[in-house]
């Protein structure tokens, strides 16, 4: 029976509708984004480490403790994306620079604070983003990390850092690993 199903499943699946992405764009400043991140709790952060995605101009008063978080300083748009895949629903934010290039992604996990997540994008669905709502080409991330962001004030500057997510649930761990594998990224511990 399994052999027949494996050999004949492709014609049966042609009637399934294609995957539909839902996107909402929101204009956001790096300052507002960094103030929002600690409220989310645990998220999966993906980024490309290419020097081409590191901006030379940083917003005044903001620093990142890890080079991996530098793309967040260049964020001017958030693209909240949701899709239902074979593995279930997925939702993420693409952090987009002023030229419409995606710089980083933040994935919603079962352990994320859903109310804080929705509060960032829900009331701003009418914003029109770069390229008429279609972000540019996403660079393949080199690494993924499950983090809880922290923001502290140091010498008059706000410094973004992270706390390793020690309280991640078993389901959250499996979802994070599956997303990292789907993105061909190494999940850092």
Q: In whole angstroms, what is the distance from residue 187 CA to residue 189 CA?
A: 7
Q: In whole angstroms, what is the distance from residue 15 CA to residue 179 CA?
A: 26
pLDDT at 105: 93
Q: In whole angstroms, what is the distance from residue 11 CA to residue 113 CA?
A: 41
Locate the domains of the chain by residue range: 20-188
pLDDT digits (tens, 9 = 90+) for 5-21: 444 444 445 555 556 77
Q: Tokens for 43?
A: 């998220």
pLDDT at 54: 52
pLDDT digits (tens, 9 = 90+) for 136-174: 566 678 789 999 999 998 888 888 999 876 678 999 999
pLDDT at 51: 53
pLDDT digits (tens, 9 = 90+) for 55-83: 556 677 787 888 888 888 888 999 999 99
Helix (H) / strand (E) element for 25: namely strand 22-27
| Residues facing residue 89 across a β-bridge | 84
* Model confidence band, residue 49 (pLDDT cutoffs 50, 70, 90): low
pLDDT at 117: 93
pLDDT digits (tens, 9 = 90+) for 105-138: 999 999 999 999 998 877 654 455 555 445 556 6
| Residues facing residue 64 across a β-bridge | 160
pLDDT at 179: 92
pLDDT at 98: 84
pLDDT at 120: 85
Is residue 23's pLDDT more than 90? no
Distances (CA, A) of 92 to 17, 27, 121: 22, 16, 11
């Amino acid at each position: 029976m399994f052999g027949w199903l494996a050999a004949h499943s492709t014609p049966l699946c042609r009637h399934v509708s294609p995957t539909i992405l839902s996107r909402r764009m929101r204009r956001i400043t790096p300052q507002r984004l960094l103030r929002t991140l600690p409220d989310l709790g645990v998220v999966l952060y993906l980024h490309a480490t290419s020097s081409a995605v590191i901006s030379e101009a940083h917003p005044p008063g903001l620093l990142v403790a890890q080079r991996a978080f530098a793309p967040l300083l260049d964020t001017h748009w958030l693209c909240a994306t949701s899709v239902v895949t074979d593995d279930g629903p997925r939702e993420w934010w693409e952090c987009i620079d002023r030229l419409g290039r995606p710089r980083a992604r933040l994935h919603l996990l079962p352990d994320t604070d859903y109310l804080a997540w929705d509060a960032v994008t829900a009331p701003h669905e009418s914003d029109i983003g770069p390229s008429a709502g279609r972000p540019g080409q996403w660079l393949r991330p080199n690494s993924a990390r499950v983090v809880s962001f922290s923001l502290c004030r140091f010498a008059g500057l706000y410094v973004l850092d992270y706390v390793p997510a020690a309280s991640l649930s078993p389901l959250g761990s499996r979802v994070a690993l599956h997303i990292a594998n789907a993105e061909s990224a190494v999940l850092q511990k």
